[in-house]
Chains A and B, each alone.
Chain A
């Protein structure tokens, strides 16, 4: 089920009413409702893959208990390995099987050997990359004695399948989200209104910004040889807003929806395009994934400790793996590697934690130097987005070559003025709200109700007018 669909518009109020009116007296029933609602939400797309979620839930629930019951290191390790094997195995089979087979065949054909590939027509189950990481972190945290295993299976199943963040995150840690399923939730008017506000803003990002950018991005990327360099630059510029609007919009809707049910999810995007260097960008972009990789891959590898060579190796691994997580395609691996190359100089010269605060925190406008830094960072990120969006490496390289050599300094062949205006408004609002969890969290709150409502109506009207057909979220495919 898509957040931006009529189905969800009907589904959400029904679950909300059942949750707060029918089942409010029993925590167990509320959790059970969440599990059922989440399975309906997921099954709306394809009910067959519910078995995977159930399998993952049962597996890690049982393994968690067994890990905590044994003190024998080898047995604990074996149990953890079982969890990792099955979770990564599922992910690997559904997401990467054909990629590995194709890559294997290609590498052999490079040497002149022909192999008949045995690829399978595998459907990628939506959200598998997200919920497997969530369940994995649960087992790992128990193994590291950071978390006690739960004996409440319904609560655990609700944690794994929690519908607001099931299919595209934020990837929650058991240490943060799971305890919320143990405690009675009380309805809080201000939190609920805040949730609605965040949903509204998320919808604006997705429907108005991302979907309208997508129309032009698809045209330009699909037929890039027909366009001038400046148009191709416009294509990747719009893609930057598409991917940001799409993914951070989803996160906003997820966090807002969770808040309606009394849950707090972690911030997933912190205005990344206002970053002054790539290190800051990666602290602000898809935070739940970056921190997951940091805690479960980067730090165990040694992190930024050890020799320079080790540091370089660790950074390369984490970025490449992160890229590969996004999709079974060399384009994502190169995208990750490019970002590693951006990041490495900052790490090696110990400049990776220079910008840990919000840009121009106590000023309305940034300084010239800050604008320059943000501009350079944005351009670097744009360059890497070409690989993220392209269908293949040759597509990406062809795109970049055409962009650089064919009338880069010219008026683009496409000039969607309305979209430029919308993006401009979007940037202004995001800038004004950059210190908050989401842009309109506190915006206009000091003004009278009439003005606030007017502002929210304006956003809602823009969503209605500029929305079109339901378009799936990009991150569903990851």
Chain B
């Protein structure tokens, strides 16, 4: 028995050490979320969907707002709508002692809507049991919990994806959490992507309903929680006209709903949708890198210009 135990322990120890070492290869190319669970707890966060993940670049906000701590903790509309899992994850990611933080909450009708088909089919929300729900350690490197519980691919892809960074249609999550997407902006491919996106979102219209009382309550809870730690800003990001039309069909009085929430919770709401024609997009839904930079600068200027006495200093 002793011999057997020594054999098993030796074999499994070597193997586990090897696996642990391999996990150090995981980085911003691993997937669009992993790196955000490996950085330390943060004091200033960008929250929201992939529009924010891709379109708000912390380094420009930091530079204009004379800070160095703004971190992009936005994911995508399917996984990170306002709800219990996202709020839990934000609570975990936020440094608990934070007092003078800044929190940018990107909002749009999809992030406060529910996917009725999923609710009917599973009895849960679309983000139930996802990586936000399952990742309890949000500042662990390598984050073994995330890689074991939530990484959807074979681990060989951690290695393979590293070599693809910079190629067309790839991404890399930067150290500040910004999702840096490399994509061709050639007219034809962009219009093709936009067309596909519009078709997809038109289909989603039939299965989504917005606003959902659960989501609105979660958004308010998120705001109230973050307000205890600093300033909170709600932001509606621009998209192309075709997508805007779909959003209006989903929830035409979205701005009214947001202004009401902002007033109730005592925060500022920036509706940047009217500026939509000034920006360029990779697929009609996401700002490209150059526009993202400009948008981040414009947002920083708006924040600097805002003087909301209700926001905690």
Contacts and interface: CB of A to CB of B under 8 A. Distances in A.
B156 A465 contact: yes
Interface string B141-168: 0000000100111111000000000000
Given A212-B154, A468-B154, A469-B152, A457 B4 contact: no
B161 to A, nearest CB: 13
A468 B153 contact: yes
Contacts of B18: 461, 464
A466 B11 contact: no
A247 B111 CA distance: 42
A192 B8 CA distance: 10
A460 interface: yes
Nearest to B22: A464
A80 B69 CA distance: 75
B4 A464 contact: no
A192 B4 contact: yes
Interface string A2-33: 00001000000000000010000000000000
A189 B152 contact: no
B154 A466 contact: yes
Contacts of B152: 468-469
A234 to B, nearest CB: 19
Contact of A187 (B1, B14, B22, B148): B1
Contacts of A418: 156
A20 B22 CA distance: 34
A460 B18 CA distance: 11
A187 B155 CA distance: 36
A467 B154 contact: yes
A457 B151 CA distance: 23
A460 to B, nearest CB: 5
Contact of B7 (A193, A457, A465): A193
B7 A464 contact: no
A249 B132 CA distance: 33
A478 interface: no
Interface in A313-358: none
Contacts of B22: 464
Nearest to B155: A465
Contacts of B11: 453, 456-457, 460
B290 interface: no
B19 interface: yes
Overall SS of chain A's interface: helix
B19 A464 contact: yes
Interface in B13-30: 14-15, 18-19, 22
A445 to B, nearest CB: 15
A195 to B, nearest CB: 10
B4 A466 contact: no
Interface string B110-138: 00000000000000000000000000000
B154 A465 contact: yes
Interface string B219-242: 000000000000000000000000
A456 B151 CA distance: 25
A196 B8 contact: yes
B200 interface: no
The range of chain A's interface size is 20 to 34
A465 to B, nearest CB: 4
Interface in A18-51: 20
**B interface, size bucket:** 10 to 19
Contact of A466 (B8, B15, B156): B156
A464 B148 contact: no
B1 A20 contact: yes
A456 B4 CA distance: 16
Contacts of A6: 148
A209 to B, nearest CB: 13
Nearest to A456: B11
A457 B154 contact: no
A460 B11 CA distance: 10
Contacts of A189: 1, 3-4
Contacts of A192: 4
B256 to A, nearest CB: 42
Interface in A455-478: 456-457, 460-461, 464-469
B253 to A, nearest CB: 39
Interface string B260-294: 00000000000000000000000000000000000
A457 B155 contact: no
A252 B155 CA distance: 24
Nearest to B14: A457
A212 B156 CA distance: 12
Given A464-B155, A466-B154, A457 B3 contact: no
A456 B7 CA distance: 12
A415 B152 CA distance: 21
Contacts of B153: 468
Contacts of A469: 151-152
A247 B247 CA distance: 48
Contacts of B7: 193
Nearest to A462: B156
Nearest to B152: A469
Interface string A209-225: 00010000000000000
A224 to B, nearest CB: 22
Contacts of A465: 154-156
B211 to A, nearest CB: 32
Nearest to A215: B154
Contacts of A212: 154
A460 B8 CA distance: 13
A457 B148 CA distance: 20
B15 A460 contact: yes
A464 B14 CA distance: 13
Nearest to A465: B156
Q: Which of B8, B11, B156 has the most CB of A within 10 A?
A: B156
Contacts of B3: 189
B110 to A, nearest CB: 26
24 contacts: A6-B148, A189-B4, A192-B4, A193-B4, A196-B8, A457-B11, A460-B15, A461-B15, A464-B15, A464-B18, A464-B22, A464-B155, A465-B154, A465-B155, A465-B156, A466-B155, A466-B156, A467-B154, A467-B155, A468-B151, A468-B152, A468-B153, A468-B154, A469-B151
Given A460-B15, A465-B155, 14 more contacts: A212-B154, A456-B11, A457-B11, A457-B15, A461-B15, A464-B18, A464-B19, A464-B22, A466-B154, A466-B156, A467-B154, A468-B153, A468-B155, A469-B152
User: 9 tightest A-B contacts by CB?
Assistant: A465-B156, A468-B154, A466-B154, A465-B155, A189-B4, A192-B4, A460-B15, A187-B1, A464-B19
Interface of A: 6, 20, 187, 189, 192-193, 196, 212, 418, 453, 456-457, 460-461, 464-469
